Structure 1
Amino acid sequence: MKILIADDELRLRKVVALHLKKAGFAVLEAGNGRQALEIAKEQKPDVIVLDIMMPEMDGLEACAAIKADAELSGTPIILLTAMAEAGDIEKGNAAGAEYYLTKPFSPRELIDKINSNFKS
């Protein structure tokens, strides 16, 4: 299973990628929403994990663009963000995200969410 993780915080992205790799996933990485959209179009990941607050294109914009793309619209998206207000979660749902996890989080929680909901 191929997972794309997009977060502008390099250290956090590397930690999450390490945990996902240890769990047996192939990992793709992006530093912003625009990169995430480009990589998603090229690589067709099975799941996409997006931070919301990123430069160039934020995670909500990237999520909406992915869901609007005919080839990518069925790709599950998990928003992983520090934005935890009810309105933020509503915006994430409106953009098309399947799940919303707030930081700080447990990498195990993310892996369990992927395994229980998206692994065939």
Structure 2
Amino acid sequence: MNAKVLIVDDQEQIRRLVVGILNGEYEVLEAASGEEALQVTREQLPDLVIMDILMPGMDGLTACSQIKSDPATAAIPVLVLTIIDYELNRRFAESLGADGYITKPFTPDELRTKIAEHLKPATA
């Protein structure tokens, strides 16, 4: 059975791009907001979450923090996907529980490599 990967981004074109890259390799779930991400994560228990930071309503860092503070979802790796490539942002994201950081734009190979790095413990 393929690992479940949740893609969270308020921009549909980014979700479509990531789904297109991962479809066939993973069971891909989608959410368009931080609030929706929390709901889908709690209901579906994905093996990995890829989350944009900048979203209206609940941002990705807040959603990441809530996923990591819930014992039922705390072990799920969260990769932050953002256009903001500042070291301070990376450290802040990590302090809130993010397991990795992917900067837009990214290549399909970069995305697949990051996902594989964080899924190894779950699928081994």
Determine if the TM-score, normalized by the shorter chain, exceeds 0.5.
yes
Q: Secondary structure at the match of 2:23?
A: helix
The Cα offsets for residues 83-108 of structure 1, whole Å up to 9 and x where unpaired, read as 11111111111110110111111122
Normalised by the size of structure 2, how large is the TM-score? 0.92
Tell me, what secondary structure is at the counterpart of 2:116?
Answer: helix
Q: Corresponding residue for 1:89?
A: 90
- Mapped to 1, the partners of 2:73 and 2:118 lie a distance apart of 18
- Aligned residue in 2 for 1:25: 26
CA distance in 2, matches of 1:53, 1:116: 24
Whole-Å separation in 2 of the counterparts to 1:117 and 1:7: 19
Q: What CA deviation, in whole Å up to 9, does each residue of 1:36-87 have, x standing for no partner?
A: 0110000000000000001111000000000000100000010010111111
- Segments of 5+ residues of structure 1 without an aligned counterpart are none
Aligned residue number for residue 12 of structure 2: 10
Aligned-partner SS, 1:27: strand
- Separation of aligned partners in 1, 2:58 and 2:117: 29
Q: What is the one-letter code of the residue matched to 2:109?
A: R
Number of the residue aligned with 2:114:
113
How well do the aligned residues superpose, as a CA RMSD in angstroms? 1.0
What is the CA–CA distance in structure 2 between the aligned matches of 1:113 and 1:58, rounded to whole Å? 22
Number of equivalenced pairs: 119
Task: Specify every segment of 5 or more residues in structure 2 that has no aligned partner in the other structure, as ranges.
Answer: none
Q: 4+ runs of 1 displaced by more than 4 Å?
A: none
- In the aligned structure 1, how far is the partner of 2:65 from the partner of 2:118? 21
Tell me which residue corresponds to 2:75: 74
Provide TM-score, normalisation by structure 1: 0.95
